[in-house]
Every structure is written in structure tokens, then in C-alpha cells.
């Protein structure tokens, strides 16, 4: 079977069209047969560099041998239990996360997905405070389930009717295209002050929490300026609100620190993890202070789900933490991220369509523009470049919503040679689509 026919098997795609619900963008035009390390292999036998870690989740690369061994052992010994029955992997993982977490986050709830963990955190914040109003940033992405969807403003709100009562939005900090200040400087403090003046005007006196990503990934890899998160925490304290950090994509070393919020020295009242915690296996967590958890328990907190405290994913999470610590992968993400950044900045010098390079560690954004002076986004160019990257042997991700931003998030186990390969494919792709 030829390369083209193997991936464009008419019978396969007809069955996919007939039987799959289309849940987002069009499916990539390839059939992946297996994946290992930083590469996937398609139906033609071609190896494709995965510069997005699957869904930003395969932080240790695909099919990491120790994760494979852990799953094999767990599936034969202890896989799933009734949610009220505990096992050693669950308590061990909770203890390990509590020891790693910033501040006083010492109580842990283990769940399956990021949206689920954000729903649980918001539910806890509402119960603990007695309020129901949730503040979120305007280009946030927290999930597609109930409360998480109501606090998501990236691009997915249209067509589903009213969001949950009490949803309040404030501007996402965007240093590249600031709306407050002048060309010489971004007045993020003025923007935040004005945002909370509007929050106070909208509130009915029932503010519960603010939820924020330390780096807004689906919003275009927006990195808040230093000092922003501390100022946001102060705004919350002044109003008796809880602060929730969603570290689905930034947690566990990807940004060069174990948690991205560590850069700012700010510890939230609740912190959520998902994607990276399971290294590709569905696993998420809510971390809470003892004070918040005790108050919620006293008031009858309820969040039974079928796979809460499942032992198999908990065992995987433990192995993920072990590998990250033993192999010094936080430091690796920092050094590899510097190599990636320097390579992207070099590309920016050669291609006028690259307006901005931003991010930290191995979570980087490359913002394509029609004109560097106006900074008008170039989403069509980004889509063409992404498709060309795939032709050249690299899968990557662009942010939806007309932004024209590449979201670059390879595994933190990636080698220097693989980083250089990805940069060379970006180079060739941009050369081809800008001719």
C-alpha cells in the first residue's frame, strides 16, 4: 500500500465519518498506528515528531517504558474500586503531591480529566465561601463541563445557551497586544484595577473565587507579567474570594519549575492538575488547603464520580512524579526550553511573519502576524504552516479562535537533536508557505 493510500484509506475514513461524533476541529489526515518517545508512526511507517505531546499530556513522551510497566502491573493487580474504598497508590500519590505543592495545599482529590478537576475546585470554592460568582480571564480555557465551561472564554461559548449564574470575565493580560498603557509599556496594574472595579459593579455580593492559568495556553500562550499573579491574589483576598490555579498544562515541570505559579511566589487556595499528571493516562487532581477542605467537609461536600480515587491511574501518577524527580526533568525542561527559545528567536529574525515568541520552558508560543507593526494575527498562515509541518513530519498545534499562534509543547524528555529537528521543520514550513 502506498504512503498516500495507507493514510487515506477510503474505507477507514468512511467508517470514521459514519460513526464518530465530530467534537472539534477536523481530524488530522493521518492514521497513527503506534507512538514511542517523541515520535508517532503513521500507517505508512513514517515517523512523525510530536511537538504537542499528544494533547499536551505525554510529558514523558509516548509509551515511556516505566509507565508501560506500571500500567501492566496495575491492570493485573488493582485497577478500579468503588469510590469510597481506598488503596495504597491513592494515599501515596496524595501524600507525594502534598509534599511537592506550593503553600499549604495538603488535601488531594484524584479524578480523571481537567474539566472535571476544575468543576470540583469551583464546587469546593462555592461551598467553602457560600458564594457562587466565579471570575475568570477572558482568554481562559478550563474545560467543557458545567462550571469549567462557564469559566472558559477562549473561543467555545457560542450555541449552548446561558452559562452558569455568576460567571464574570476580566481581561486576560496580554503584554504583546496591551490595551492599557502605551507603546512604551503595558500598564497591567491599571488594567487589573479597572477589571476589578467592573467585578465589584457586577457582583451581587456573592463572590466565590477567581480561576486562572499561570500561563494561558489555549488563549495564545499568554504569560502574565511578573507581579500580576501576586496582585490578582491580593484582589481575591480583599474580597474574601478563593484563588484557583489551573495548572493542567503548566504543572509538573513543563515550564522549568515544578509548578508555574512558583515563579511568582504565589500559592493558591486550590490548584488543579490534569494532563501532565497522568503522562497520557486520564488522571487529574484537585489540591486544597486543609482549611478549605475542612470547611467543605463540614458542609457536606459531594463529588462522587465513577473513577474518583482509582488505583491504576494513581499508580501511574506516582511513577510520573518519581521519573520527573529522579531524571531531573524540571531542570531539563528549563535547559531544553532555552534551546527551543533561542531557535525560535532565530527564526523570528528570518521571517517577518513571526511577531512574537513567548512562554517558558517547554511551553512556548509563536505568534504569526500579517504585519509586525499592526500585530494583526495571521490565522490562515498559521493553519497553512501547521499543515506543511505535518507534510514534513511534525505534528504541532495552533491555538483556535483566529489568533494565529503555535502552541509548542514537546515532551520534557525531548533530546536536543529532536528540538533541532522540530526547529528545522518549522524553518522549512515557514519558507514554503511565505514564498
What is the DSSP code string of 56-77? HT-TT-BT-HHHHHHHHHHHHH
| Chosen domain end from 326, 355, 385 | 326
Instruction: Check if 407 is active-site.
Output: yes
Which of 42, 116, 133, 213 is an active site residue?
213
DSSP 111-173: ES-HHHHHHHHHHHHHHHHS--EEEEETT----SSHHHHHT--SS--TTS----TTEEEEPPP
Q: Which pLDDT band holds residue 5 (cuts at 50, 70, 90)? A: low
- Do 261 and 358 have their domain in common? no
- Model pLDDT, residue 2: 43
Are 238 and 298 contained in the same domain?
A: yes
Examine the domain organization and report whether 145 and 215 are in the same domain: yes
* Domain range enclosing 36: 3-63+329-433
Q: Are 258 and 294 contained in the same domain?
A: yes
User: Does the pLDDT of residue 434 top 60, yes or no?
Assistant: yes
| Pairing mode, strands 207-212 and 133-137 | parallel
Q: Indicate if 275 belongs to the active site.
A: yes
pLDDT, tens digit, for every residue of 110-151? 999 999 999 999 999 999 999 999 999 999 999 999 999 999
**Rounded mean pLDDT, 213-228:** 96
Q: Quote the percentage of the chain above a pLDDT of 90.
A: 94
Assess whether 50 and 87 both reside in one domain: no
Whether 213 is a known active-site residue: answer yes
Distance (Å, rounded) from C-alpha 100 to C-alpha 59?
17
Annotation marks residue 246 as catalytic: yes
The predicted model gives 28-35 an average pLDDT of 94
CATH classification at residue 140: 3.40.640.10
Torsion over CA of 22, 27, 29 and 33, rounded to 10 degrees?
-100
Say whether pLDDT at 4 is over 70: no
Q: Do residues 137 and 25 both lie within one domain?
A: no
Position 3 scores a pLDDT of: 46
Query: Which of these is catalytic: 50, 116, 246, 356?
Result: 246
Across 121-130, 307-316, 378-387, 400-409, least confident range: 400-409
Question: Are 81 and 25 within one domain?
Answer: no
At 1 the pLDDT is 38
Q: Catalytic pick from 174, 367, 407, 418?
A: 407
Among candidate residues 326, 355, 384, the one where a domain is terminated = 326
pLDDT digits (tens, 9 = 90+) for 157-173: 888 899 999 999 999 99
Residues 291 and 404 both lie in one domain = no
What is the reported pLDDT for 35?
97
Please pick, among 249, 263, 269, 418, the residue that the annotation labels catalytic. Answer: 249
Question: Among residues 173, 114, 167, 176, which one has the least CA distance to residue 139?
Answer: 173
- Can you tell me the mean pLDDT for 33-40? 98
Among 126, 139, 141, 367, which one carries the catalytic annotation? 141
Q: Are residues 19 and 105 in the same domain?
A: no
Q: Please count the structural domains in the chain.
A: 2
Q: Assess whether pLDDT exceeds 80 at residue 182.
A: no
User: 306, 326, 346 — which closes off a domain?
Assistant: 326
Mean pLDDT value across residues 265-283:
97
Q: How far apart are CA 59 and CA 319, in angstroms?
A: 12
Q: Is residue 268 over pLDDT 60?
A: yes
Query: Which of these is catalytic: 263, 275, 319, 400?
Result: 275
Instruction: Find the range with the poorest average confidence among 173-187, 262-276, 358-372.
Output: 173-187
How far CA 95 is from CA of 89, 285, 311, 424, in Å, comes to: 10, 12, 14, 42
What's phi and psi for 32, nearest 5 deg?
A: -90, 130
Same domain, 232 and 143: yes
Q: Are residues 45 and 173 in the same domain?
A: no
In this structure, what CATH number is given to the domain that contains residue 372?
Answer: 3.90.1150.10
pLDDT higher than 70, residue 272: yes
Average pLDDT on 37-41 reads 98
- How are beta strands 270-273 and 405-408 bridged, if at all? unpaired
One domain, residues 18 and 103: no
Residue 68: its pLDDT value, please? 98
Mean pLDDT of 83-112: 97
Mean pLDDT, all residues of the chain: 96
On the question of pLDDT at 73 being above 50, the answer is yes
The predicted structure's pLDDT at residue 26: 87
The answer to whether residue 141 is catalytic is: yes
Distance CA 185, CA 177 (A): 11
Amino acid at each position: 500500500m502506498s504512503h498516500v493510500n495507507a493514510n487515506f484509506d477510503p474505507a477507514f475514513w468512511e467508517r470514521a465519518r459514519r460513526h464518530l461524533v465530530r467534537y472539534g476541529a477536523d481530524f488530522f489526515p493521518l492514521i497513527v498506528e503506534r507512538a514511542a518517545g517523541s515520535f508517532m508512526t503513521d500507517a505508512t511507517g513514517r515517523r512523525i515528531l510530536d511537538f504537542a505531546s499528544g494533547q499536551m499530556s505525554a510529558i514523558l513522551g509516548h509509551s515511556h517504558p516505566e509507565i508501560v510497566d506500571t500500567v501492566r502491573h496495575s491492570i493485573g493487580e488493582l485497577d478500579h474500586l468503588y469510590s469510597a474504598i481506598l488503596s495504597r497508590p491513592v494515599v501515596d500519590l496524595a501524600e507525594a503531591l502534598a509534599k511537592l505543592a506550593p503553600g499549604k495545599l495538603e488535601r488531594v482529590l484524584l479524578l480523571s480529566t481537567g474539566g472535571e478537576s476544575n468543576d470540583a475546585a469551583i464546587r469546593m470554592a462555592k461551598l467553602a465561601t457560600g458564594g457562587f460568582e466565579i471570575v475568570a480571564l477572558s482568554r481562559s480555557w478550563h474545560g467543557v463541563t458545567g462550571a469549567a465551561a462557564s469559566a472558559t472564554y477562549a473561543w467555545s461559548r457560542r450555541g449552548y445557551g446561558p452559562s452558569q449564574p455568576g460567571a464574570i470575565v476580566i481581561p486576560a493580560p496580554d503584554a504583546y497586544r496591551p490595551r492599557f498603557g502605551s507603546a512604551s509599556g503595558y500598564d497591567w496594574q491599571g488594567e487589573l484595577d479597572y477589571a476589578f472595579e467592573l467585578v465589584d459593579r457586577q457582583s451581587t455580593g456573592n463572590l466565590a473565587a477567581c480561576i486562572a492559568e499561570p500561563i494561558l495556553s489555549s488563549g495564545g500562550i499568554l504569560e502574565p507579567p511578573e507581579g500580576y499573579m501576586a496582585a490578582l491574589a491580593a484582589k481575591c483576598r480583599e474580597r474574601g474570594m478563593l484563588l484557583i490555579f489551573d495548572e493542567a498544562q503548566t504543572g509538573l515541570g513543563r515550564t522549568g519549575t515544578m509548578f508555574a505559579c512558583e515563579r511568582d511566589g504565589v500559592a493558591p487556595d486550590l490548584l488543579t492538575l490534569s494532563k501532565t499528571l497522568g503522562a497520557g493516562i486520564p488522571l487529574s487532581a484537585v489540591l486544597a488547603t486543609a482549611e478549605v477542605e475542612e470547611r467543605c467537609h463540614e458542609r457536606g461536600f459531594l463529588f462522587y464520580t465513577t473513577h474518583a480515587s482509582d488505583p491504576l491511574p494513581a499508580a501511574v501518577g506516582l511513577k510520573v512524579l518519581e521519573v520527573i524527580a529522579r531524571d531531573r526533568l524540571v531542570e531539563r525542561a528549563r535547559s531544553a526550553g532555552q534551546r527551543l527559545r533561542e531557535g525560535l528567536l532565530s527564526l523570528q529574525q528570518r521571517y517577518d511573519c513571526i511577531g512574537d515568541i513567548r512562554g517558558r520552558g517547554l511551553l512556548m508560543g509563536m505568534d504569526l502576524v500579517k504585519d509586525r507593526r499592526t500585530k494583526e494575527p495571521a490565522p490562515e498562515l498559521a493553519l497553512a504552516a501547521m499543515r506543511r509541518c505535518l507534510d514534513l513530519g511534525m505534528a504541532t498545534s495552533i491555538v483556535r479562535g483566529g489568533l494565529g499562534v503555535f502552541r509548542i509543547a514537546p515532551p520534557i524528555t525531548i533530546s536536543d537533536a529532536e528540538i533541532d529537528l522540530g526547529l528545522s521543520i518549522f524553518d522549512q514550513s515557514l519558507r514554503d508557505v511565505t514564498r
